Amino acid sequence: MKVTIKKAGACRKTVAIEVPAEVMEKERKDTVSVYAKHARIPGFRKGKAPTDVVAGKYAKEIDQDLKERVLPKFYQEAIQQESINVVNVIDASEVALAEGTPASFTVTVDVVPEFKLPKYEQISVKVEQQEVTDEQVQEQIDQLLSQQATYDDVEDKVIEAGDMGQLTYEATTDEGALLKDAIPEAKGIGSGEGYWVSADDQAFIPGMGEALIGLKQGDTKDVDIHFPASFMVKELADVKARYHLEVTGVRVKKAAELNDEFLERLQIESEEKLRELFRDQLEQQAENTSLQATHEQIIKFLIKKTKLDVPESAVQQQTRDVMYELARQRMMQGASQEQIGEQQEELFKEAQERALENVKLRYIGLAIADEQQFEASELEVDEEIARIAIQQRKDAAELRKEMIENQSFHAVADQLRFNKALEYMVEKAKLK
């Protein structure tokens, strides 16, 4: 078999493969023999027709079989023979098969880039250690007490920030129509009775919470509301409405007390233990923040100091993944499909930039893992799949099977090897 390789781009090659006529002849004969065993041809018993008759009758089918079965075989042999590390197959030429002649075809592939690693040991990293203070611990306790707060009904009390007001309300548009009629999707947002609203910026109608401050039971008020463009109900995005409010009740927030009863409810033996738990949590958060900052500095160094081109197809694949994630994040933040569509160009540019960096970093990290001979054991891979399965609420065995089928199984091992390379660089970093 003759294999000719030509460069077709930074990380792209064309692989021209020529299979000798005698090899193809043997493959053809083997294929014809298989057909002959099962062929039903008038005038002959099943499997007894002469091979030349079978070859003539099933010529098209035999050629198609050779293309689908045999030629991929020779492609695999070619890339193994030439040690080509293929990322993606981009294109493959059509093959004209003729008896007694070599079979030639060309495959265009993207390949793993070849590059020189920078010196990745003793990377200079600035680490800012964050000390956990008593004040920070107290803030955590105060938040906990606030979360466990109760509300008491009061009369003749002016609403302050943090209080709750019970409202009856009706909204109209700029044209004077009822909002619930003009925009049916508004439903309970357009009118309501007996709704409790917190006098802060967490109210479900933007600006409604702040509007309650200074009112008391029995008071009425007209409030102009401008729904933001990112509002969760897309039909109300950027809509202006006037709300007529009536306060029908007031509740005052009563924070929980840090006493024995409260600690018993939390199943914590003492206040000291509670403070210790919060301190441990804050210290772990500080450590994670510091480690993340270290990772970011190392990654920035590697990207800056490593000169490499990356496969275009890999960047395209990663761009699609990043684009999907960015769109998902925007939707979780309240953006509508229309708004995301309008931001598509901006999102695509950001996705491309992130994708290019992600792909570069992956190849750099895996190259370091190779150089340091970091491997991921079968047990480590299984544990990681189990962890992912828990996150995705899937059965681990089913997820493993799914990963094998969609060819993402090896990506788990690669990620573990990448993580080991990153941990190694953190250990070897020069801290300042």
Kindly give, in sequence order, each residue whose CB lies less than 8 Å from that of residue 386, ignoring residues fewer than 6 positions away: 396
Is the pLDDT score of 95 beyond 80?
yes
Kindly give, in sequence order, each residue whose CB lies less than 8 Å from that of residue 343, ignoring residues fewer than 6 positions away: 330, 335
Is the pLDDT score of 96 beyond 90?
no
CB 429 within 8 A of CB 122: yes
Residue 55 confidence class, pLDDT cut points 50, 70, 90: confident
The reported pLDDT for the residue numbered 125 is: 94
Q: Which tens digits make up the pLDDT trace of 203-214?
A: 788 889 999 999
CATH topology of domain 2-111: Alpha-Beta Plaits (3.30.70)
| Paired tokens of 9 | 């781009």
Of 136-140, 228-232, 351-355, 424-428, the range with the lowest mean pLDDT is 228-232
Q: What is the pTM of this model?
A: 0.74
Q: Which tens digits make up the pLDDT trace of 391-410?
A: 999 999 999 999 999 888 89
Cα–Cα distance for residue pair 222/241, rounded to 1 Å: 10
Residue 21 confidence class, pLDDT cut points 50, 70, 90: very high
Residue 362 confidence class, pLDDT cut points 50, 70, 90: very high
The reported pLDDT for the residue numbered 432 is: 82
Residue 98 confidence class, pLDDT cut points 50, 70, 90: confident
Place of tokens 């009706």: 170
Q: Where in the chain is the domain with CATH 3.10.50.40?
A: 150-254
> Taking Cα atoms as reference points, which of 286, 290, 253 lies closest to residue 137?
286
Q: How far apart are the first and last CA of the chain?
A: 58
CA distance readout (Å), 209 to 204, 216, 259: 8, 13, 31
pLDDT mean over 142-147: 90
Cα–Cα distance for residue pair 125/280, rounded to 1 Å: 25
Residue 6 confidence class, pLDDT cut points 50, 70, 90: very high
Cα–Cα distance for residue pair 308/116, rounded to 1 Å: 8
Q: Give how far the C-alpha of residue 236 lies from the chain's centroid of Cα atoms, to the nearest Å.
A: 29
Q: Where in the chain is the domain with CATH 3.30.70.1050?
A: 2-111
CB 183 within 8 A of CB 236: yes
DSSP state of 213: T
CB 130 within 8 A of CB 286: yes
Is the pLDDT score of 275 beyond 80?
yes
Q: Give how far the C-alpha of residue 308 lies from the chain's centroid of Cα atoms, to the nearest Å.
A: 25
The reported pLDDT for the residue numbered 121 is: 93
The reported pLDDT for the residue numbered 336 is: 73
Of 47-51, 108-112, 347-351, 406-410, the range with the lowest mean pLDDT is 47-51
CB 210 within 8 A of CB 201: yes
Question: What CATH number was assigned to the domain covering residues 271-431?
Answer: 1.10.3120.10
Return the CATH class of domain 150-254: alpha beta
Higher per-residue pLDDT: 278 or 36: 278
Beta-carbon neighbour count of residue 402 at 10 Å?
15
Kindly give, in sequence order, each residue whose CB lies less than 8 Å from that of residue 115, ignoring residues fewer than 6 positions away: 306, 307, 308, 363, 367
Cα–Cα distance for residue pair 392/10, rounded to 1 Å: 37
The reported pLDDT for the residue numbered 353 is: 95
Q: What is the pairing mode between strands 12-19 and 2-9?
A: antiparallel
The reported pLDDT for the residue numbered 146 is: 86
Beta-ladder partners of 391: none
Residue 49 confidence class, pLDDT cut points 50, 70, 90: confident
The reported pLDDT for the residue numbered 260 is: 92
Amino acid residing at 298? I
Q: Where in the chain is the domain with CATH 1.10.3120.10?
A: 271-431
